[in-house]
Amino acid sequence: MRKVVQCDRSPQPVAVAVGVTIVVAMATFSACQTPPRPPSDLIAKGKNLFFNETFKGNGRTCGTCHRAEANLSINPAFIATLPPNDPLFVAEFNPDLKKNFENPKLMRQFALILENLDGFEDLEKQFVMRGVPHVLSLRTSVNSPQGPRTGWSGDGAPGDGSLRSFATGAVIQHFPKTLNRVAGVDFRLPTAEELDALEAFQLSLGRQQDVTLPLPLKGIVPKRGQEIFLDNSLGKCNLCHSNAGATANLGGGNIGNANFNTGVETLPDQPADLTGELVPPDDGFGKPGDGTFNTPPLVEAADTGPFFHNNAIETIEGAVAFYDGESFNNSPAGHTLAAADPEGVGIELDGTQIVAIAAFLRVMNALENIRQSIELLEASAQKRFMERQQAKELLKRAITETGDSIRVLKGGGLHPQAVAHLKKAKELAEDAACSIFSRHRLTEQAIEEQKNARNELVESSPARS
Amino acid sequence: MLKVLMQIGVIVAGLGGMTYAHGQQMTEMFIPVGQSPGVSDKSSLIGTIDSMDEKNRTVTVSAQSGVQTVGLTNRTKIWLDRSLLKAPNQSGTSADLQKGRKIEVKLEQGERKQVAEWVKVQLTEPGAGPGAAAK
């Protein structure tokens, strides 16, 4: 029997717990210094805006698409659990937004969102369909020497193009009551203070710094996957996803978060195209576009599919296999890699190697989920009796993360012993959430089980607590 | 190998890896004059239009900081801010840059001459629309 976390009748929105990672110091992954953090009240204000503020629009909030319970992204399986009046579906029940605002079919089947990235002149034909990226580890994944890069093509924000300004564009694109999009009528724009708070909250989410690879992994397949990932003459992944993050290092030093044309748009049989719905080509950065897209971080990837800007590939194995295919190797990026290769090869991987890289990405993701779970559990353990409601919210968040860890490892047939510890950790956290007098003890035990799971994945080192 | 990869850096740069990432999402057109985040409060030119020189493609703006003449190129986007009229903003043309109207100009970065990346003209008279002046 599956245990239900809801043990009383006063469920609190899970959303409230998500920003908590900020309060506790980063312990695991890397021994570097933690960057300075904005005051926690600003972050709390931003969290409240992100999940609750509709900006006098159509009822959506940022959290409508960047779901707290779905790693700040959204996917078809999660969408299937939502009631028909969820504001995600405004285009289905608000007559003013029925046409040219979303494509409900593509939204429900593939979690694709309509965006007018090339302008609002021809709403009927001029749009792109994109997946919802998670907004985790933004502190590591937005900056480049040429300026900030937000969104799948790196040019998502109006104003100065910064992460802070992104929210203004999101309100105009996703929140209007009608397609007139008149400020003050169809929505209100975020104020300067609200933009500050939203930015502070978003920067507080997930990792605050990149991992340093290689990690002393224990599993032989993930370990081999890591080697291939890091091998600049075999997997070549690390050139663009340095340390499994979002910055590129092509040999001349780190060039920050960069854009590349890797040929995802040219993939044959893309799921959205198979529906017969109109899916105009997405030309990437700029207008007219130059065909390039922005590099996402990979530590967070395994539990945030479907993958790529168009959600074209459902599984992490499939996403890795993309690089062995025609679309990548015939792309400008593929040609460039081939030109620099002594044997003229772009990226060529065999089945075992594809699965090994995916196994590595699964383990990286599980380690990050374990890190977050431990933070949440520790924060929860610090809550006193009077704060037990907050403690419970933190526990629920840890339970969700742990569920992800289990799924990600099991999905790759990886580390059954770690999975057993994680299942135990999840049960303990569920029990803690329902317990009045044993909450502390059970939470501490859950933390122990998380650490046991981690010790199955990676050699313990002094840098790791 | 390192040297070869440095070369990739250069080639990839040519592929768009290093394109300047200014905020160019099209939602900008719906942001009223004076409210563009990180722009209106920092670097844009806000004032009233003194004159529009169609021949030289320049607009002269009277701002608090003084009078300034700015060039328009065929890349410059011109938007009509009709939010005070509670009407949707639209794309406009240089014919809409009429004396006395409130204007906001975002200058292109890194240009030697003062060149506009975008221009927003605020419309306050009902009935004013794209190119109304030319008719």
Q: Does B3 contact A at CB distance below 8 Å?
A: yes
Chain B residues whose CB is inside 8 A of the A337 CB are 8
A102-105 long-range contacts, Cβ below 8 Å, gap at least 24? A103/A129, A103/A277, A103/A278, A105/A275, A105/A277
Mean of pLDDT values over A224-242: 98
For residues A120 and A234, state if they share a domain: no
CB contact under 8 A, A165 and B38: yes
Same domain, A191 and A253: no
Of A160, A173, A287, the CB nearest to B37: A160
**pLDDT tens digits, one per residue of B102-135:** 999 999 887 777 999 999 999 998 876 665 544 3
Give the one of B16, B20, B37 whose C-beta lies nearest to A292's C-beta. B16
Co-location of A139 and A219 in the same domain: no
- Give the closest-approach CA distance of B75 to chain A in angstroms: 10
Establish if A452 belongs to a structural domain.
Answer: yes
A406 and A443 both lie in a single domain: yes
**pLDDT over 80 (residue B23):** no
User: In sequence order, what are the beta bridge partners of B119?
Assistant: B78, B105
Question: What ipTM score was computed for the predicted complex, to two decimals?
Answer: 0.90
B4 neighbourhood in chain A, CB within 8 Å = 251, 340
Q: A254 and A147, same structural domain? A: no
Flag whether residue B74 sits within 8 Å of chain A, measured between CB atoms.
no
pLDDT classification of A36: cutoffs 50, 70, 90: low
CATH code at position A152: 1.10.760
Residue A292 in any domain: the answer is no
Q: Which residues of A touch B92 (CB under 8 A)?
A: none
Tell me which residue range forms the domain holding A85: 40-203
Distance of CA A465 to the CA centre of its chain: 25
Q: What is the pLDDT of residue A87?
A: 98
Q: What is the pLDDT of residue A229?
A: 98
Min Cα distance A192 → chain B (Å) is 7
A335 located within any domain: no
- Quick one: A29 and A56 in the same domain? no
What pLDDT does A77 receive? Answer: 97
Partner residue opposite B20 with nearest CB, options A146, A156, A284: A146
* CATH label of the domain that carries residue A443: 1.20.120.660
**Residues A17-34: tens digit of each pLDDT:** 333 332 233 333 333 445
Count: domains in chain A? 2
The per-residue pLDDT for A35 is 58
Q: Is residue A279 part of a domain?
A: no
Q: Give the end of a domain, one of A168, A185, A203.
A: A203
Enumerate the H helices of A306-387 as residue ranges.
316-321, 326-329, 332-339, 351-382
DSSP secondary-structure letter at A169? H
Last residue of a domain, one of A203, A225, A250: A203
Supply the pLDDT for residue B131.
Answer: 56
| Residue A52 confidence (pLDDT) above 60 | yes
Tell me: do A125 and A195 sit in the same domain.
yes
User: Do A228 and A166 share a domain, yes or no?
Assistant: no
Is residue B109 within 8 angstroms of chain A, CB to CB?
Answer: no
Are A163 and A229 within one domain?
no
- For residue A215, what are the contacts with CB-CB under 8 A and spacing of at least 6? A226, A364, A367, A458
Give the mean pLDDT of chain A: 92
* pLDDT of A242 strictly over 80: yes
Q: Is residue A381 part of a domain?
A: yes
Same domain, A218 and A197: no
Kindly determine whether residue A251 and residue B8, on different chains, have CB atoms separated by under 8 Å: yes
At B49-106, the pLDDT tens digits run 999 999 999 999 999 999 999 999 998 999 999 999 999 999 999 999 999 999 999 9
- Looking at the structure, do residues A147 and A251 belong to the same domain, yes or no? no
- Which has more confidence, A453 or A146? A453
Q: Nearest C-alpha of chain A: how many angstroms from B50? A: 25
pLDDT at A3 over 50: no
pLDDT of residue A356: 98
Report the C-alpha gap between B128 and B123 in whole angstroms: 7
pLDDT at A26: 32
Alpha carbons A75 and A240: distance in angstroms, whole number: 25
Q: What is the mean pLDDT of residues A376-405?
A: 96
Q: Say whether A117 and B2 touch across the interface (CB within 8 A).
A: no
Confidence (pLDDT) at A22: 29
Q: Is residue A435 located within the same domain as residue A458?
A: yes
B133 touches chain A (CB under 8 A): no
